[in-house]
């Protein structure tokens, strides 16, 4: 079946603009995670949803970052007033049990 | 912050040789997982080992876990050029979220 999909795959934006990153999890997966990965590093946790409920947002760097999953399926990670330091690969994962399956990621470049 | 540290940071071997990568972590865990990341591609799940397990096999992969030393190792036997990738260990702690804490990875190069 289809894996986790993310869009866009690449996003170039100017500093100060808002961006919205989309994640479409594997059908039926209850849990959805967002991670951010800097070059040469492992992914770092941002936030986690169980169905539509945001259970943990301890990894969000500041209040410019927010996420939602209104119907318990597709999720959107929004970054407001982007800054150059927000440039990274943003990865989404979904799971039904312990194993998390990752999407291809969205590479964000803030100029 | 990163939970785990992989060792070595980089490894270069000849095709057919075995590759061993180590991972250390800091806090008590529920599970430990290994992922592979090819250049420009996504993270692929390789294997999960639970905290009450000591060893697990999957094809050419062998994973060990020593909870007393808070460490794990990944062995790839009879390596192939296609195994060239970065390998990450990831742990989830004994709480309800299963969020993964990744190490910084080992970059493996398998020379043909």
- How confident is residue B3, by pLDDT bands cut at 50, 70 and 90? low
The shortest C-alpha distance from B103 to chain A (Å) reads: 6
Lowest mean pLDDT among A21-30, B6-15, B40-49: B40-49
Q: Chains A and B: how many Cβ contacts under 8 Å? A: 64
Q: Would an 8 Å CB–CB cutoff place A27 in contact with chain B? A: no
Q: Which residue of B has its CA nearest to A32?
A: B99
pLDDT, tens only, B73-111: 999 999 999 999 999 999 987 665 778 999 889 999 999
pLDDT of residue A98: 84
- How confident is residue B1, by pLDDT bands cut at 50, 70 and 90? very low
The four Cα atoms B8, B11, B13, B18 give a dihedral, to 10 degrees, of 40
pLDDT of residue A65: 98
Output the average pLDDT for chain B.
90
Q: Would an 8 Å CB–CB cutoff place B100 in contact with chain A? A: yes
The shortest C-alpha distance from B107 to chain A (Å) reads: 9
Percent of chain A residues past pLDDT 70, beyond the cut: 99
pLDDT of residue A28: 92
pLDDT of residue B29: 87
pLDDT, tens only, A68-83: 999 999 999 999 999 9
Residues of A in contact with B44 (CB under 8 A): 102
In the 8-state DSSP scheme, what is residue A84?
G
Output the average pLDDT for chain A.
95
The answer to whether B99 contacts A56, with C-beta atoms less than 8 Å apart, is yes
pLDDT, tens only, A92-111: 999 988 899 999 999 999 99
The answer to whether A31 contacts B98, with C-beta atoms less than 8 Å apart, is yes
The four Cα atoms A13, A17, A18, A19 give a dihedral, to 10 degrees, of 0
- Which residue from B30, B42, B98 is facing A95, i.e. has the nearest CB? B98
> Is A26 a residue whose pLDDT tops 50?
yes
Distances (CA, A) of A28 to A11, A71, A91, A95, A105: 28, 12, 19, 9, 20
pLDDT of residue B83: 96
List the single best residue of B85, B97, B101 to mutate versus A (max A Cβ within 10 A).
Answer: B97
Percent of chain B residues past pLDDT 70, beyond the cut: 92
The shortest C-alpha distance from A35 to chain B (Å) reads: 9
Q: Would an 8 Å CB–CB cutoff place B51 in contact with chain A? A: no
pLDDT of residue B96: 54
């Amino acid at each position: 079946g289809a894996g986790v999909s993310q869009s866009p795959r690449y996003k170039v934006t100017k500093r100060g603009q808002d961006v919205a990153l989309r994640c479409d999890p594997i059908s039926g997966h209850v849990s959805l995670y967002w991670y951010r990965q800097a070059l040469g590093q492992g992914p770092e946790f941002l936030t986690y949803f169980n169905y539509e409920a945001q259970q943990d947002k301890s990894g969000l760097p500041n209040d410019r970052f927010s996420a939602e999953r209104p119907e318990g399926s597709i999720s959107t990670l929004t970054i407001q007033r982007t800054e150059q330091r927000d440039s990274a690969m943003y990865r989404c994962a979904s799971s039904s049990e312990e194993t998390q399956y990752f999407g291809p990621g969205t590479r964000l470049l803030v100029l | 912050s990163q939970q785990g540290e992989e060792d070595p940071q980089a490894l270069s071997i000849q095709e057919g040789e075995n590759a061993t990568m180590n991972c250390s972590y800091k806090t008590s865990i529920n599970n430990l997982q290994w992922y592979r990341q090819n250049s420009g591609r996504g993270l692929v799940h390789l294997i999960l080992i639970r905290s009450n397990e000591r060893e697990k096999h999957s094809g050419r992969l062998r994973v060990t876990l020593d909870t007393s030393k808070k460490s794990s190792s990944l062995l790839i036997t009879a390596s192939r050029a296609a195994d060239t990738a970065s390998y990450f260990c990831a742990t989830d702690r004994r709480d309800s979220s299963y969020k993964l804490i990744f190490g910084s990875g080992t970059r493996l190069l398998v020379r043909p």
